[in-house]
């Protein structure tokens, strides 16, 4: 019997990366094996992101190329998964009739069954969001043999010794620019014991670092019961997961500042394996723009959080997200964002030009900022951030840092500090992926560090 192969191309965030892993595991049970060539696979899955127009355009253009591959090999099955699939649904099949399956974010666990249904009926399938969705409890089956899974998009697959664990799906916040509440549905949290069990399995398999994932982890447990205790929250979950024997490092992402509590910040002081690193998206330094974004916090509250976090954990490395050129953003609003950047001095940031996303409230706003103005402001912001990142990184030169090795090759090894900085090691021929070693930081660049070890 011919073994069928699959290839998953993942776009977007870590949630999508984790969803791709879940689909890969599910397909294994249906006789599929990972392939290495997108155009030669029996089943191609594009796990899509609709947060920015560019990512969506890339998917559509890739689907165009896949039409030719399917003409050559009509048995090829093409699946569009993820946020674009959820948002566009049947419209994808109308535009791209060679697509066999459009599978939304909640239905990834059923991919094997759905593909089987496509094979037996010969019909195209489009799934939809469920009102009473419960995240299925599926324990991971992993064997760590190499850094990256070749059937996954090679640029963003997580290193083998660091894994993501989804703790919740969806979001109830309705920030005016964001599609997530429409593409991932209402917020649902997983049971605490399911999460701890999954972490135990991963750590037993050799994983050293876990990142807990959700659109807004700070509100974990608020919309559905996750444990016997009615007050169980994200801080409780962090404390429970941190105690899994053998877990070296614990991280989480992402957090909405409006839900950040002192109880959570205290965890950075108390939990030894919780990494001193926090991604806290601010989006804008202007209160007027934050209000239009429906973020429900002020710049002053954000500064308070930063101050408290640094009190609880002085070495914490802070990163953020910023949207440049939101509708109505005036020069003074952008100046306020620059002031915030200069005052907080983030270790790093992800900054993007605002783009209208279909179906969002912000797409109907007046006062759209001209493209050229957005580009100029983005360049100013990024140039300043690069300088700050360099100066922040230079503070590490001469210090000893514990590094988790991700991969080693002819050109040296690469690993990460607990603050999530990439470190390239110069003299490390005997190191293996997953090993933890001390290195002296010898050089700092804008985006990474260099280090030397005695090994
Ligand atoms: S908190 Fe806002 S930006 Fe984040 S996922 Fe929810 S709606 Fe989107």
Ligand 1 centroid–CA 352 distance in Å is 15
Give the distance (Å) from ligand 1 centre to CA of residue 175: 6
According to the model, what pLDDT value does residue 380 have? 98
Which ligand 1 atom is at minimum distance from the Cα of 283? 3
Q: Which of 51, 171, 323 to mutate to test the pocket of ligand 1 (most atoms within 8 A of CB)?
A: 171
**pLDDT value at position 427?**
67
Q: Give the domain-ending residue among 98, 126, 154.
A: 126
Please give the tally of structural domains in the chain.
2
DSSP structure string for 254-314: ---GGG--HHHHHHHHH-TTB-SEEE---B-S-HHHHHHHT----HHHHHHHHHHHHHH-T
Whether residue 109 is contained in a domain is answered as yes
240 vs 234: CA distance, rounded Å: 10
Distance 131 CA to ligand 1 centre (A): 19
222 located within any domain:
no
Q: Does residue 213 belong to any structural domain of this protein?
A: no
**Domain limit, last residue, from 75, 95, 126:** 126
Ligand 1 centroid from CA 450, angstroms: 35
Q: What is the pLDDT of residue 147?
A: 36
The confidence score (pLDDT) of residue 153 equals 41
Asked, for residue 412, whether it belongs to a domain, the answer is yes
Coil, strand or helix at 218: helix
pLDDT of residue 207: 93
How far does residue 309's CA lie from ligand 1's centre (Å)?
Answer: 22
Which ligand 1 atom minimizes the distance to the CA of 216? 1
Q: What is the mean pLDDT of each run of 10 residues along the chain (455 residues)?
A: 85 85 87 89 90 77 91 92 85 91 87 91 84 72 44 47 91 92 88 95 93 94 91 97 97 95 97 97 98 98 97 97 98 98 98 92 97 98 98 97 87 91 82 88 95 81
pLDDT at residue 347 in the model: 97
Within-domain flag for 27: yes
| Protein residue closest via CA to atom 2 of ligand 1 | 175
Residue 16 has what pLDDT? Answer: 85
Out of 172, 181, 280, 283, give the residue to mutate to test ligand 1, the one with the largest number of ligand atoms within 8 Å of its CB. Answer: 181
**Pick from 346, 319, 445, 334: which is nearest to 379 by CA?**
334
> Does residue 306 lie within any of the structural domains?
no
DSSP string computed for 128-158: ---TT-------------SSS-TTS-TTTPP
Asked whether residue 86 is assigned to any structural domain, the reply reads yes
Q: Which residues line ligand 1 (CB under 6 A)?
A: 171, 173-175, 178, 180-181, 215-216, 256
Q: Is the peptide bond before 254 cis (omega within 30 degrees of 0)?
A: yes
What's the residue count for the chain?
455
Q: Give the domain range for residue 448.
A: 400-452
In a domain, 346, yes or no: no
- Closest residue by Cα to atom 4, ligand 1, is 215
Residue 356 Cα to ligand 1 middle (Å)? 15
Q: What angle do CA 122, 127, 131 make, to 5 degrees?
A: 155
Identify the CATH number of the domain in which residue 86 sits.
Answer: 3.40.50.12160
Chain centroid to CA 84: how far? 16
Ligand 1 centre from 174 Cα, in Å?
6
- Alpha carbons 60 and 333: distance in angstroms, whole number: 35
CATH number at residue 447: 2.40.50.140
Ligand 1 center from residue 294 Cα (angstroms): 10
Residue 372's Cβ-count burial label (10 Å; 0-12, 13-18, 19+) is: exposed
Q: CA 257, CA 73: separation in Å to the nearest integer?
A: 49
Which of ligand 1's atoms lies nearest the C-alpha of 181?
7
The closest-lying atom of ligand 1 relative to the alpha carbon of residue 256 is 1
- CA 296 to CA 157: how far, in whole Å? 33
- How big is the CA angle at 22 (ends 17 and 27), to the nearest 5 degrees? 125
The answer, as to whether pTM is greater than 0.95, is: no
The candidate with the shortest Cα–Cα distance to 425, out of 446, 396, 404, is 404
CB-based contact 210:227 (threshold 8 Å): no
Distance (angstroms) between ligand 1 centre and the Cα of 113 equals 31
Ligand 1 center–CA 215 separation, angstroms: 6
Helices (H) and strands (E) in the chain, counts: 13, 19
Ligand 1 atom nearest to 294, measured from its CA: 2
Q: Which of 102, 126, 150 is the C-terminal boundary of a domain? A: 126
The residue whose CB lies within 8 Å of the most ligand 1 atoms, and thus the one to mutate among 185, 220, 256, is: 256
Ligand 1, pocket-test mutation among 13, 49, 105, 175, most atoms within 8 A of CB: 175
């Amino acid at each position: 019997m011919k073994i069928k192969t699959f290839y998953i191309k993942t776009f977007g965030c870590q949630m999508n990366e984790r969803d791709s892993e879940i689909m890969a595991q599910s397909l294994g049970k249906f006789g599929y094996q990972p392939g290495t060539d997108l155009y030669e696979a029996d089943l191609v899955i594009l796990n899509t992101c609709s947060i920015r127009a560019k990512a969506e355009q890339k998917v559509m253009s890739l689907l165009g190329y896949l039409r030719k591959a399917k003409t050559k090999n009509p048995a090829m099955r093409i699946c569009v998964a993820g946020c674009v699939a959820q948002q566009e649904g049947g419209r994808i099949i109308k535009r791209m009739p060679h697509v066999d399956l459009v599978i939304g974010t909640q239905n990834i666990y059923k991919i094997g069954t759905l593909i089987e249904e496509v094979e037996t009926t010969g019909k195209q399938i489009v799934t939809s969001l469920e009102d009473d969705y419960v995240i299925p409890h599926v324990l991971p089956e992993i064997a760590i043999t190499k850094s990256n899974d070749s059937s996954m998009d090679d640029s963003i697959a997580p290193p083998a010794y660091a894994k993501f664990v989804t703790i919740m799906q969806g979001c109830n916040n309705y920030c005016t620019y964001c599609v997530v509440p429409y593409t991932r549905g209402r917020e649902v949290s997983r049971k605490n014991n399911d999460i701890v069990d999954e972490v135990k399995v991963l750590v037993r398999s050799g994983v050293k670092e876990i990142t807990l994932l959700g659109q807004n982890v700070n509100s974990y447990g608020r919309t559905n019961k996750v444990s016997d205790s009615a007050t169980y929250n994200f801080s409780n979950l962090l404390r429970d997961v941190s105690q899994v024997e053998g877990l070296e490092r614990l991280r989480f992402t992402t957090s909405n500042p409006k839900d950040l509590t002192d109880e959570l910040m205290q965890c950075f002081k108390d939990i030894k394996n919780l990494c001193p690193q926090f991604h806290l998206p601010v989006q804008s330094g202007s209160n007027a723009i934050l209000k239009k974004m429906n973020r429900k916090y002020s710049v002053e509250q954000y500064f308070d959080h930063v101050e408290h976090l640094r009190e609880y954990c002085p070495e914490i490395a802070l990163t953020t997200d910023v949207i440049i050129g939101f509708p109505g953003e005036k020069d003074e609003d952008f100046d306020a964002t620059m002031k915030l950047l200069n005052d907080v001095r983030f270790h790093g940031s992800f900054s993007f030009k605002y783009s209208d996303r279909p179906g969002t409230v912000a797409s109907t706003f007046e006062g759209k900022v001209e493209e050229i103005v957005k580009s100029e402001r983005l360049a100013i912001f990024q140039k300043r951030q690069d300088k700050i990142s360099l100066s922040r990184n230079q503070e590490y030169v001469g210090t000893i840092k514990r590094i988790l090795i991700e991969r080693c090759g002819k050109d040296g090894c690469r690993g990460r500090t607990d603050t999530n900085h990439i470190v390239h090691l110069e003299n490390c021929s005997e190191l293996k992926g997953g090993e933890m070693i001390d290195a002296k930081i010898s050089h700092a660049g804008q985006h990474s560090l260099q280090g030397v070890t005695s090994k």
